[in-house]
Homo-oligomer: A and B are copies of this chain.
Amino acid sequence: MKKIIDSPKNFVNDMLRGIYLAHPDKLTYVDDDMHAMVKKDITPGKVGIATGGGSGHLPLFLGYIGNGMLDGCSVGEVFQSSSAQQMLSVTKAVDSGAGVLYIFGNYGGDKLNFELSAEMADMENSIRVTSVIGKDDVATDNPENRRGVAGIFFVYKCAGAAAAEMLDLDEVTRIAQKAADNVRTMGVALTPCTIPRVGHPSFEIGEDEMELGMGIHGEPGVRRGQLTTASEIVTEMMEPILKDMQLSEGTEVAVLVNGLGSTPLEEQYLAYGHIHDILSACGLKVFHVYVGEFATAMEMAGFSISVFKLDDELKRLLAKPAATPFFIQPQL
């Protein structure tokens, strides 16, 4: 295991310490627990938006706390859910009377803990909590069982912009749900990654193999096979996305090309060339492209493609500026 760490056991705490030291004016934590991260300045009267999930995916999840995006995040150990108590701490801190929206991925531990936290917030603190769950990974056939992966970025962005406009909880929730319904993602993995506490790679894969549809925790994909050309890989990834979305000609979309960890930006841009060709051939218009690392799996090699269907409302919200320590966007 080749990692810049001090001890596998304290990896997440040591990382969090560095993040708070690097961004003291932007991020802080509550209840004396570094895993309960909140935005330094909470806007009074604004709907709070909280997320949560395991570590190892930076900038997901905590990296999207900031102006125009999220207000708090409960931070778990690597690839593990945070606790209900940590999420409750975040919830109480980010509520300023307008209620709190949870946006998180479709994973068993997260669902269990965050539903419990929402109940406690309601019962004990009279905070109204709504939830929108990211299920964008088309590698799973049944839409209800789909994992939440990089596409949650678009849900954060649009919901965050809606909350910044001081819309109420029902409206922000409606918009977040619409964003979640409008995004689809497909990934490919070339190498595994190593969880520090485990100390060895999460799975084995041949020197000439790739796995289509693998999850960001190394969950099994839909097909393992010979590594082919970028053109063929992108074609195979775009097919289930576009089939599932059924976009009519002339539809505007945003695209996210997301590196999983060790795939260079050069290769991500090369892949975008093929994505662009396919979208253009379908008569789709690309409003904006994001390329880079938005939701990683430690040092896994591979990337994912997310396509986000826009309407006037989502386009307007996506275009709004945002600024977090990990993601900055001017008005588009």
CB within 8 Å of B: which residues of A? 2-7, 11, 14-15, 17-19, 21-23, 55-56, 58-59, 63, 190-191, 207, 210, 227, 229-231, 233, 261-274, 276, 289, 291-293, 296, 298-299, 301, 303, 323, 326, 328-330
Contacts and interface: CB of A to CB of B under 8 A. Distances in A.
The interface centre, meaning the residue of A4, A55, A56, A301 with most chain B CB atoms within 10 A of its CB, is: A4
Given A190-B2, A230-B4, A270 B14 contact: yes
Contacts of A265: 58-59, 63, 293, 296, 326
A299 B56 contact: no
A7 B330 CA distance: 35
Nearest to A59: B265
Copy number in the complex reads 2
Contacts of A7: 229
A22 B289 contact: yes
A179 B236 CA distance: 47
Contacts of A18: 268-274, 276
Given A6-B229, A21-B273, A265-B326, 7 more contacts: A3-B267, A4-B268, A6-B230, A14-B230, A18-B274, A21-B272, A56-B264
Nearest to A193: B264
A56 B2 contact: no
A21 B276 contact: yes
Contact of A22 (B3, B227, B291): B291
A19 B267 CA distance: 11
Given A264-B58, A266-B298, A276 B22 contact: yes
B270 A11 contact: yes
